[in-house]
Amino acid sequence: MMDWTDRNCRYFHRLLSKNTLLYTEMVTTGAVLHGDRERLLGFDAAEHPVALQLGGSDPADLAACARIAEEWGYDEVNLNVGCPSDRVQSGRFGACLMAEPDLVARLVGAMREAVSIPVTVKSRIAIDEMEEWPTLDHFVRTVSAAGCTHFIVHARKAWLKGLSPKENRDIPPLRHDLVHRLKREHPHLTIVVNGGIRSLDEAEEHLAGLDGVMIGRAAYETPYLLADADRRVFGGAPGPDRHAVVAAMVPYAEERMSRGTPLSAITRHMLGLFQGLPGARAWRRHISENAHRPGAGPDLLLAAAALVRGAAPDMATDTATDTAEERLTPA
């Protein structure tokens, strides 16, 4: 979720659900240790519970970053062993670490010794020519021996040779069955499935046998699915309606803009809010065409939302004609 789940995105998603655990973008240890921590790590208190996802392969650096995460108030620190980008491979972290479970165990051990908050691992099921089940099972056995009890598994193999990061999100076949097998064979561990889950209906099916479900792209493209998560998954109250969410984002946008954040950096995460409703295209177009203009302010959100209320009935067909690229065009 690099470039997606920044603090503005997470604040928006928190308005939709009070209980779901939110994750940051993956941040490298070098960036945390030497970069602008307020920009990289800053978050609003309303985002809790929120986890910091780290990328790295040096035990001392990851331990130091885990301590920083705890000091900044994060509820969890997560080690990413699943990202397949070229940059990750050249830096010897992310998915390439699936081939080094002993090293990952040392990394987790160093992080756990440094903090009292949970340390979790997000992985793939395997990489490249490695056989899927024995790789996943051996990886989890090795890393859990270092004290990690919480694994989030993207149920696709990552092909580091021959596929782009985008292709790695779609081309390798999903093997949700292996994640369920992992839970059956390691019932004492917390096992969360990730990859290809598009709805709460699908999530509930997985929750019958697993401890959790991580939803990435679907939550970004059609964020309002999160609004019913509190009721259906956590036994709480239904989330707010879409227009209430827009209204709640106005004071947030005012505050962030007063600190120098461009309006478009906030609104780009909201484009899918009305997906599937009459007027969704008008909402997206108004934001995309105007949020970057000089003088644009948070009231732009209210003006765009008003277009949804007044949309012509035939605009209900826009979902079928839109492409994913159109839906996610940044404002």
Active site residues: 83
DSSP secondary structure, 188-226, as one string = TSEEEEESS--SHHHHHHHHTTSSEEE--HHHHHSGGGG
How many degrees, rounded to 5, is the angle at CA 159 between CA 329 and CA 205? Answer: 70
Question: Which has the closest alpha carbon to 194: 251, 120, 297, 96?
Answer: 120
Q: Pairing state of beta strands 212-214 and 190-194?
A: parallel
Query: Cβ(54)–Cβ(82) under 8 Å?
Result: no
Question: Which has the closest alpha carbon to 205: 232, 185, 182, 174?
Answer: 232
In total, the chain counts a number of residues equal to: 331
Query: Cβ(13)–Cβ(219) under 8 Å?
Result: yes
Cis check for the bond before 49: say yes or no (omega within 30 of 0).
yes
User: Which residues in the chain belong to E strands, given as ranges?
Assistant: 22-28, 50-55, 76-81, 119-123, 150-154, 190-194, 212-214
